[in-house]
Structure 1
Amino acid sequence: MGVTALGWTLTVAVILALLALDLFVGVVRPHAVGFREAIAWSVFYIAVAVIFGLVLAGIVGWGYGTEYFAGYVVEKSLSVDNLFVFVIILSTFAVPQEHQHKVLTFGIIAALILRVIFIALGATLLAFFSFMFLIFGLLLIWTAIQLFRHRNQDPDVENNVLVRATRRLLPVTDEYDGGRLITRLDGRRVVTPLFVVLIAIGGTDILFALDSIPAVFGVTDEPYIVFVANAFALLGLRALYFLVTGLLDRLVYLSVGLALILVFIGVKLVLHWAHVDLDPSVPEISTPVSLAVIIGVLTVTTIASLVKVRRDPDARAHASVVTRGRPRSAETRTRRRQGSEG
C-alpha cells in the first residue's frame, strides 16, 4: 500500500484519541452502563470503523477497502468470542459493575499492544519465509478443530496458570477496595481481586491475539490493514460488552460459526502458499469471496442460534475453549453467576 509516515501518524493519533475517550469514560468517570448508553457507544464505534473503511477505500481503492472490511468483520466476530471469556472472568470474580469499565478498558489496551507486537512479528515472518502461510493456515485449521470439539465447554478461569501463579506469589485480599489494585491489610500491602482480574484478562488477550492475527493475515497481507482492522474491532469491545452481555448466551452456534470461518481462512492460506511455492495453477480464494463467506457464515450462525433458543429456551452458548485453561461445565458457570448476583 505504501502508507506514508504521516498516514501512520494520523491513524495512530485517531486510535489514541479514541482510547483516551474510552479511558475518560471508563476510568475517570466510573459508573454502571445502561442499555441506551451501550447502544449509543456501540453505534458510534461501528460508524467510526465504517467511515474509516470508506475513506481508506476512497484513497487507495476498493481492493484494499474490501480487505479492510473483511479483516474488520473477522476481528469483530472473534472479539464477540473474546467477550464470552470476559463475561466469565467478571462474573467469576464478582467484579462490581462500576469497576467493569476499568477492567474492560485495560483489556482493550493490553489486547491492542499485544496485537501490534504479533502483527509486527507475523508480517516479518511472512516477508522472509513464505512457508509461514502454510504454518498459519495449519494453525488456524487446528484451532478451528479444537474450537469445535470444545464448543460446549467454558474455561475455568480460576485454574488459569497466570491466576494460580499470582495467588501463589502475592498476598491477595478477598475484598475489593474501591478501584484500587493494591491496598493495606493488617499493616501490609496486598493486592485486591481487581489485580487478579487484570492478570486473567491479560492472559486471555495473549491467547486471543495468537488466534486472531493469523486469521486476519488470511484476508490481507498488508500490516497497515491488519493493524487498523484489529484496532477498530477492539475499540468497540467495551461498549459491545455492556450491550450484549445478556444476549451472548443466545449465540449457541457462535463457536461452530467461528470454527467454520477459521477453517475457511486456514484453507485460503494453505492454497496461497501452494500457489506461490508449489504451482501457480493452484487456485486462490479472492478477498471479495472471503468477505461474502464470512458474512454468510455469521448471518446463518446468528439466525440458527436464535431459532434454536426459541425452540429450546434452556439452550445456552459457551465461551470457546482451545488453550484457555481447563474447561468447566455450564452448571458450574451458572452457579458462579448466581453467586455473584447474590
Structure 2
Amino acid sequence: MGQLNLGFEIAALAVLVVILLVDLLLVLKRPHLPSLKECALWIGFYVSLAIVFAVVLFFVGGIAPASEFVTGWLLEYSLSIDNLFVFIVIMGKFAVPKKYQQEVLMVGIIIALIARALFIVAGAALINNFAWIFYIFGIFLLWTAWKQAAEEEDDGSDSFIIRTVRKFFPVSESYDGNKLRTVVNGKTLFTPMLLVFITIGLTDVMFALDSIPAIFAVTRNPFLVFTANLFALMGLRQLYFLLGGLLERLAYLHYGIAAILGFIGIKLMIHAIHESPLEFIPGFSVLEKIPEVPIWLSLTVIVVSMGVAVVASLLFAPKTSAPVEGGTGTDPEHTDSEH
C-alpha cells in the first residue's frame, strides 16, 4: 500500500481551500436566493470533485486511503445533512431574510471547518498518545445515537450564551441587510444577524463533537479526516436550498443517523478493545476475539441506513402542512433568469 506524501497533501489542501474561497467570494459579492438549477450544478460539481479526489487518492496511495476517504466522506455527508434540519429551525426562529440565508450558511460552513480542524488536531493527538480514548468516543457516540433516536436536539437559539449576548449587547428588532451593526434613532445597535452567527457557531461546535470521533473510527489519518469533512461541507449550502421543504418531510431521517452513529460507536468500542485491552477485567480476553469492523461494512451500513430512512420518510411519514417560517422555499418572484 502506497503512502500519501506531505507534498501531495499540502497541494491538495491548497486547491480545495481556493475552491471554497471562490465559492465564498461569489456569495459575498452577490447575496441572493439561488435557483434550483444553480444549486444542482454546484452540488454536482462538488460530488464529482469528491469522486475525482478519491480516484487521485487511489493512484497516489492505493485502495486503502481511497476507500477510507469515500467512507469518511459519506459518513460526514450524512451527519452534515442533520445540520440542515437545525439550520432550518435557526433561520425560522430568527426570521433570516431568504436573500441573506446563503451568506449565513457560508459563515456557518467556515466556522464548522475551523471547529472541526481544531477537533481533528486534538483528536489525533489523543489517539496517538491515549488509545483508551476510543472507549470514550464509542460511549459518547452511542449516547448521541440515543439522543438522535429520541429527537433530543437543541438549536442553541435560546442558550445561556445567546441570552447573555442579548443582555450585554443591544440588539435591534429588525435586520439591516446583511450588516452586523445598524443605527436606530441615532443609537448604534447590533442586528439579529449577530445572534444568528453565534447560534450557527454553537451548533457547529456541537456537531463537530459528534462527527470527529465518528470519522476517526473510519480512518486515523488527519489529512483524510479533514478532506472528508471539507468535501462533506462543500455544497451543503446549495443542498439546503435545493432540498427546501423536502427536509421537513424526512421525518425518519434521524433514525438513520442514529443507526449510523450507534454502529460507529460499537465499531469504536471494538477497536478500543483491540488497541487498549482492559486486562484487569475478568474474562476480557473473550472480547478480544471479536474481529475489527472492515471499511466495506461501514460503507454499507452508512448507505443502507440513509437510504432506508429517506425512502421510509417519503413513503410512510405523515404529511406536514405548514412550512417553517423563514425556511428554504423559493420566492415566487425568483426565477432562473436572475442568474
Residues 129-150 of structure 1, C-alpha deviations (whole Å, 9 max, x = no match): 010111101110011111112x
Write the distance in 2 (CA, Å) between the matches of 1:67 and 1:201.
Answer: 29
Letter in structure 2 aligned against 1:306: L
The answer for the alignment partner of 2:264 in structure 1 is 265
Structure 1 runs not aligned, ≥5 long: 316-330
Relative to 1, partners in 2 of residues 1:72 and 1:127: Cα closer, same or farther, differing over 3 Å? same
Write the distance in 2 (CA, Å) between the matches of 1:88 and 1:47.
Answer: 30
The answer for the alignment partner of 2:83 in structure 1 is 82
Write the distance in 2 (CA, Å) between the matches of 1:239 and 1:161.
Answer: 31
- Tell me if 1:98 matches 2:99: yes
Write the distance in 2 (CA, Å) between the matches of 1:67 and 1:156.
Answer: 31
**For residues 30-49 of structure 1, what are the structure 2 equivalents within 5 Å?**
30-49=31-50
Question: How far is 1:282 from its partner?
Answer: 3.0
Secondary structure, aligned partner of 1:313:
coil
User: Does structure 1 retain, via aligned residues, the 8 Å contact 2:132–2:272?
Assistant: yes
Q: Identify the range of structure 1 (28-37 vs 128-137) with the bigger mean alpha-carbon deviation.
A: 28-37
Letter in structure 2 aligned against 1:214: P
Write the distance in 2 (CA, Å) between the matches of 1:248 and 1:155.
Answer: 17
- Tell me if 1:307 matches 2:315: yes
Q: Find runs of 4+ consecutive structure 1 residues off by over 4 angstroms.
A: 333-337
State TM-score, norm by structure 2. 0.89
Relative to 1, partners in 2 of residues 1:252 and 1:160: Cα closer, same or farther, differing over 3 Å? same
Residues 228-250 of structure 1, C-alpha deviations (whole Å, 9 max, x = no match): 00011011111111111221012
The answer for the alignment partner of 1:223 in structure 2 is 222
User: Over aligned residues, Cα RMSD in angstroms?
Assistant: 2.0
User: Does structure 2 retain, via aligned residues, the 8 Å contact 1:92–1:157?
Assistant: no
The answer for the alignment partner of 1:188 in structure 2 is 187
The answer for the alignment partner of 2:244 in structure 1 is 245
Write the distance in 2 (CA, Å) between the matches of 1:292 and 1:95.
Answer: 38
- Tell me if 1:174 matches 2:182: no
Relative to 1, partners in 2 of residues 1:336 and 1:154: Cα closer, same or farther, differing over 3 Å? farther
**For residues 11-90 of structure 1, what are the structure 2 equivalents within 5 Å?**
11-90=12-91
State TM-score, norm by structure 1. 0.88
Question: How far is 1:264 from its partner?
Answer: 0.4
The answer for the alignment partner of 2:149 in structure 1 is 148
Letter in structure 2 aligned against 1:170: F
Question: How far is 1:85 from its partner?
Answer: 0.7
User: Does structure 1 retain, via aligned residues, the 8 Å contact 2:95–2:325?
Assistant: no
The answer for the alignment partner of 2:280 in structure 1 is none
Residues 306-334 of structure 1, C-alpha deviations (whole Å, 9 max, x = no match): 1113xx3239xxxxxxxxxxxxxxx9x85
Q: Paired residues, what number? A: 319
The answer for the alignment partner of 1:318 in structure 2 is none
Question: How far is 1:4 from its partner?
Answer: 3.2
Letter in structure 2 aligned against 1:308: F
Relative to 1, partners in 2 of residues 1:160 and 1:245: Cα closer, same or farther, differing over 3 Å? farther
The answer for the alignment partner of 2:336 in structure 1 is none
Question: How far is 1:335 from its partner?
Answer: 7.1
Relative to 1, partners in 2 of residues 1:133 and 1:168: Cα closer, same or farther, differing over 3 Å? same
Write the distance in 2 (CA, Å) between the matches of 1:104 and 1:113.
Answer: 14
Question: How far is 1:15 from its partner?
Answer: 2.0
The answer for the alignment partner of 1:234 in structure 2 is 233
The answer for the alignment partner of 1:322 in structure 2 is none
Write the distance in 2 (CA, Å) between the matches of 1:335 and 1:108.
Answer: 22
Secondary structure, aligned partner of 2:157:
helix
**For residues 156-167 of structure 1, what are the structure 2 equivalents within 5 Å?**
157-167=156-166
Structure 2 runs not aligned, ≥5 long: 278-284, 332-339
Question: How far is 1:294 from its partner?
Answer: 1.1
The answer for the alignment partner of 1:326 in structure 2 is none
Write the distance in 1 (CA, Å) between the matches of 2:211 and 2:184.
Answer: 41
Q: Identify the range of structure 1 (74-83 vs 50-59) with the bigger mean alpha-carbon deviation.
A: 50-59
Write the distance in 2 (CA, Å) between the matches of 1:50 and 1:171.
Answer: 47
